[in-house]
Chains A and B, each alone.
Chain A
């Protein structure tokens, strides 16, 4: 079974600063997907970024980037130039690679991020 651990229940940062959210996972699978999802107060789950484990290059999406360390089973999210709209709950998630979409997501416990004006 897979487990996903987010060790930071809450974080806060000043607007325009950079913040890094941590995520570690445990699996015996060699190929898999990792995700970061954002859940704002509306509670709509929004995909922030996705990484395929077989790709060595770290995924980036505008101000969001990841540091994927496969050997260490670490998958941190860096938010640059943070904005007030980034205030949300952030969940790290794991999916086996067998058949994308047919496999369930395993979520971490989440990190509540607050951007301070």
Chain B
């Protein structure tokens, strides 16, 4: 149980275009979702926290107009990289938290999405 599906797993786009990454909790309701960015051989950097039905809370230094986060339902959050540029190329990971079917707290990560901007 407690599976998080993240799509696409990799995407290549041209500079100036926008890219949407989806994060879905498959068997539990995710009240909170987190979006991270990871550069090669580095740790995970939290970008923003989103709670279902409310605006995301962005970490300091993260451009909210650049990285649009929507958490419209208890099973889906999306990250849209707007007007992507080569420096946005990175590995993006989501995690979702909520309660599993047994009522226990769950916190699970998606498999990540590799974005390459040409």
Question: CB-CB < 8 A to B109: which residues of A?
Answer: 44-46
Q: Roughly how many angstroms separate A44 CA and B38 CA in the complex, as a whole number? A: 12
Contacts A44-B111, A107-B44, A109-B42 hold; do A101 and B105 have CB atoms under 8 A apart?
A: yes
- Interface size of B in residues (CB-CB distance below 8 Å): 22
Contacts A100-B97, A102-B32 hold; do A44 and B112 have CB atoms under 8 A apart?
A: yes
Question: CB-CB < 8 A to B93: which residues of A?
Answer: 43, 45
Q: Roughly how many angstroms separate A102 CA and B98 CA in the complex, as a whole number? A: 8
Contacts A45-B95, A104-B49 hold; do A91 and B107 have CB atoms under 8 A apart?
A: no
Tell me whether A101 and B98 are in contact (CB under 8 A): yes
Interface majority SS on A: helix, strand, loop or mixed?
loop
Within 33-47 of A, Cβ neighbours of B (below 8 Å) are at 42-47
Question: CB-CB < 8 A to B111: which residues of A?
Answer: 42-44
**Would you give the 0/1 interface string for A36-73, flagging 1 where the beta carbon is closer than 8 Å to chain B?**
00000011111100000000000000000000000000
A115 at the interface (CB under 8 A from B): no
Q: Roughly how many angstroms separate A44 CA and B110 CA in the complex, as a whole number? A: 7
Measured between C-beta atoms, what is the minimum distance from A34 to chain B in Å? Answer: 13
Measured between C-beta atoms, what is the minimum distance from A48 to chain B in Å? Answer: 13
Question: CB-CB < 8 A to B43: which residues of A?
Answer: 91, 107-110
A105 at the interface (CB under 8 A from B): yes
**Would you give the 0/1 interface string for B15-34, flagging 1 where the beta carbon is closer than 8 Å to chain A?**
00000000000000001101
Q: Roughly how many angstroms separate A101 CA and B38 CA in the complex, as a whole number? A: 20
Q: Roughly how many angstroms separate A43 CA and B37 CA in the complex, as a whole number? A: 12
B68 at the interface (CB under 8 A from A): no
Contacts A44-B111, A101-B31, A105-B34 hold; do A91 and B97 have CB atoms under 8 A apart?
A: no
> Please, could you name 18 A-B residue pairs with CB atoms under 8 Å apart, sorted by A?
A43-B38, A43-B93, A43-B112, A45-B95, A46-B109, A47-B107, A91-B43, A91-B44, A100-B107, A101-B97, A101-B107, A102-B32, A104-B46, A107-B44, A109-B43, A110-B42, A110-B43, A112-B41
